[in-house]
Amino acid sequence: MKKISQSRMFLLLLPITMLWSCQTKDYSALVNKDIEEFRAYFTERFPEVELDDFADGVYAIDDNAREQWLAMEDFPPYSIAVEEGQALFENSFSNGKTYTDCFPEGGAVRHNYPYFDEQRNMVVTLEMAINECRSANGEPPLEYKKGDIAKISSYMAYISRGKPVEVKVSSQGAYEAYLKGKEFFYAKRGQLNMSCAGCHMRYSGRRLRSEVISPALGHPVHFPVFRLKWGEIGTLQRRYAGCNRNIGAKPLAIQGEEYRNLEFFQTVMSNGMHFNGPASRK
C-alpha cells in the first residue's frame, strides 16, 4: 500500500518537476505586468499628470506647493552641491586616477543604476559603486547618507538628466531581489503598523497634517534631494530611513540589502520615466 502510493506520488509529480526544470521564466514579462498595474493606479488617481511629471513628487499634484517650488527653482538650492560634486568627481585619488577610470561617459551614467550584479548576486546602487570605485583606488569609503557622496551622486545625476529609466530584471536572482523590494514596499511595519504603499499609494494626494503625500511612482528618479528641512543634499536611502523611523520601525543599514532591494523595486516601477535629479524639496 505504502509503495503504491509513493510511486503514484512520483508519477504525479514527474510532469510538474519536468515542467519546472525546462521552463525558464520570462522575468521581464512578470515585472512589466507589475509596472503596468502600478502605473495605472497612479494615472487613474491623477489623470491630469503626465508620466514624466511624477518625478516632481508632491509638486506634480499640489498646485499651491508647485508654485512656491517653481520659484525656488530659479536659484535651485542643489546647484552648489552639483558644483562641489563635479570638483570631487574630477579630483584625482592619491594613486593619480579619478572616478572617470571607474565610470564611463565622464560619469553620465546615473541611468545604469541600480542594477542587479549577476556575479555577486546583489543589487548595486550608484552610491555603492562610488564607494567601490574609491576602495578599488585605495581611498577610504564615504559616509552614505549625505555629504560628499550625495554631492558626487548629484553631479552624476545632473549630467545624466533626461536619460531613460530602464532597469532590467532578467534572471532568477534579480527577480528575487525585486520581489523582496516589492514585499518591503507593501508590508506593514513598525510600531505604527504602516507600509510605504499605505501612505504613498493609498493616501497619495491626501494630507498628513499639512503635508500632501507624494505618489510613489517616480520616487527614485529625482534624487539626490536638497531638502530645506535638512539644509543640505541627501540620498534616496537617507529619505527611506526618515520615513522608516517615522513609522516606528527598527532602523536598517543604509545601503544594506533591504534598502537596496527597495530602491531596485522602486526604480523598476519608474521604468519608462526619465532621470531628472538632483531636485529640491521641502
The catalytic residue positions are 243
**123 part of the interface to ligand HEC, by CB under 6 A:** no
Query: Which of 51, 88, 243, 252 is close enough to bind ligand HEC by CB under 6 A?
Result: 243
**211 part of the interface to ligand HEC, by CB under 6 A:** yes
Helix axes 79-90, 148-158, angle to 10 degrees: 100
Nearer residue to ligand HEC within complex by CB, 103 or 265: 265
Q: Can you count the helices (H) and strands (E) in the chain?
A: 10, 7
**60 part of the interface to ligand HEC, by CB under 6 A:** no
* Contact between residue 168 and residue 28 where contact means Cβ atoms under 8 Å apart: yes
Nearer residue to ligand HEC within complex by CB, 69 or 155: 69
* Contact between residue 80 and residue 92 where contact means Cβ atoms under 8 Å apart: no
Q: What cell was used for 164?
A: 531613460
Residues in touch with other proteins (CB under 8 A): 191-194, 198-199, 202-203, 206-211, 248
Site for ligand HEC (CB under 6 A): how many residues?
20
* Contact between residue 205 and residue 61 where contact means Cβ atoms under 8 Å apart: yes
Nearer residue to other proteins within complex by CB, 14 or 192: 192
Query: Which of 39, 111, 180, 200 is close enough to bind ligand HEC by CB under 6 A?
Result: 200
What is the number of other CB atoms lying within 10 angstroms of the CB of residue 70?
11
Which residue type occupies 120? R
Distance between CA 138 and CA 148 in Å, rounded? 17
**134 part of the interface to ligand HEC, by CB under 6 A:** no
Query: Which of 14, 70, 136, 208 is close enough to bind ligand HEC by CB under 6 A?
Result: 208
| 3-state SS class at 233 | strand
Nearer residue to other proteins within complex by CB, 64 or 210: 210
* Cβ at position 191, least distance to other proteins in Å: 5
**214 part of the interface to ligand HEC, by CB under 6 A:** yes
Distance between CA 282 and CA 73 in Å, rounded? 12
- Beta bridge pairs of residue 77: none
Q: Which positions lie near ligand HEC, rule CB under 6 A?
A: 57-58, 194, 196, 198-200, 208, 211, 213-214, 219, 225, 239-240, 243-244, 247, 262, 281
